[in-house]
Amino acid sequence: MSVFISGATGYIARHTVGQLLDQNYKVIGTCRSQTKCDQLQQRFGNNPNLTMEIVEDISKLDAFDGAIQKHAHEIKHVLHMASPVFFTSDDFAKDILVPAVNGTEGILTSIKKYAAESVESVVVTFSYAALTSPENEKGVVLNEDSWNPDSWEHCQRNGMAAYCGSKKFAEEAAWKFLAENKDVVKFKLATVNPVYVFGPQKFDADVSQKLNSSCEIVNQIIHSTPNTDLTPLTLSGYCVDVRDVAKTHVLAIQNEELLGHRLIMSEGRFDTQAIMDILNESFPVLKGKIAVGNPGTSSTKNHPGTKLDDSRSRKLLKFKYHSFEETMVDMASQILKHDELI
């Protein structure tokens, strides 16, 4: 029996595919072009347990029909990870909101049409962004019951708000689909709702000048100079390691106890200063070469903004996450090796 994973070329998905293959699962991945499919298979050493299918554009509601129908009887678990992760566009609805929502509705509908009897669990990668709009609100505590309050129209005020809206509306669509089809489909649903995901790329060869949206924040700090104005990158939020996020997807298909839940994942608070501090302290080769900000002034310990209570999810997941420092050091080491600096 196989695990079907959409958006297999993605940053988090590559780690997830790797963990599944390491545990001897058969994996059917989707990606947008033959070149990308071939490249991913090569990265995994042409492992015979990895099959790739092309799904070009998840905005089309029937995008997954062909791939799901072809493998209908083999698929036991579905991990839906494909979704736009970018924040600039002239048309937030068309480029960000619609692919996220239609991708989710579409894959669930394809399962209903062709694999209602064989698929037992569906795990969808949503986000902390489904819990809240991007503004950090003083005193607000978010947990597994929280929902981003933005409307479809209001979330289109800027790119980050549109991305957050895309995760909210897609997640709402998933739970609604299940409620309306629970007598027709066999599967149970879990969602993984991580905060900012950082950590190394799955393969050293995946490191390039520009990385995926979340890792690019750290990449730009590593490639800053003491005079770089990091104001546009100034950020404070929560983060978690990519290897732990991948692990949660795998655990969710293995452990019935996790199904039916929104699994929020956060290691803890970070900010741009905390990233600069770790990079400057851990890598002598960067001393004097990158931005330092105001060392020791990170506000992670006493930030007044939104608080996250992920205790219910942690109790269910029962494993220890990589620390922020481990995540940053592993990620930066990989980038610096690519740059031939260490």
- Contact positions vs ligand NDP (CB under 6 A): 7, 9-13, 31-32, 36, 57-59, 81-85, 99, 125, 127, 167, 194, 196-197, 212, 214
H-helix segments, 122-212: 159-181
Task: Write down the least CB distance from residue 10 to ligand NDP, Å.
Answer: 3
User: 99 vs 293, which CB is nearer to ligand NDP?
Assistant: 99
User: 187 vs 196, which CB is nearer to ligand NDP?
Assistant: 196
User: 56 vs 117, which CB is nearer to ligand NDP?
Assistant: 56
Beta-bridge partners for 124: 80, 191
SS3 316: helix
Task: Write down the least CB distance from residue 205 to ligand NDP, Å.
Answer: 15
User: 83 vs 121, which CB is nearer to ligand NDP?
Assistant: 83
Task: Write down the least CB distance from residue 37 to ligand NDP, Å.
Answer: 10
Residue 281 CA: distances (Å) to CA of 101, 149, 220, 224, 338: 42, 40, 17, 16, 20
Q: Which positions are catalytic? A: 167
Question: Closest residue to ligand NDP, Cβ-based?
Answer: 10
User: 250 vs 286, which CB is nearer to ligand NDP?
Assistant: 250
Task: Write down the least CB distance from residue 284 to ligand NDP, Å.
Answer: 29
Residue 149, Ramachandran bin (φ over 0: left; ψ between -120 and 50: alpha; else beta): alpha
Radius of gyration, alpha carbons of the chain = 20
Sheet holding 236-241, edge to edge: 196-198, 236-241, 268-271
Contact (Cβ atoms closer than 8 angstroms) between residue 218 and residue 274: no
Provide CB contacts within 8 A for 304, sequence distance 6+.
138, 139
Task: Write down the least CB distance from residue 87 to ligand NDP, Å.
Answer: 11
What is d(CA 117, CA 113) in angstroms, rounded to the nearest whole number? 10
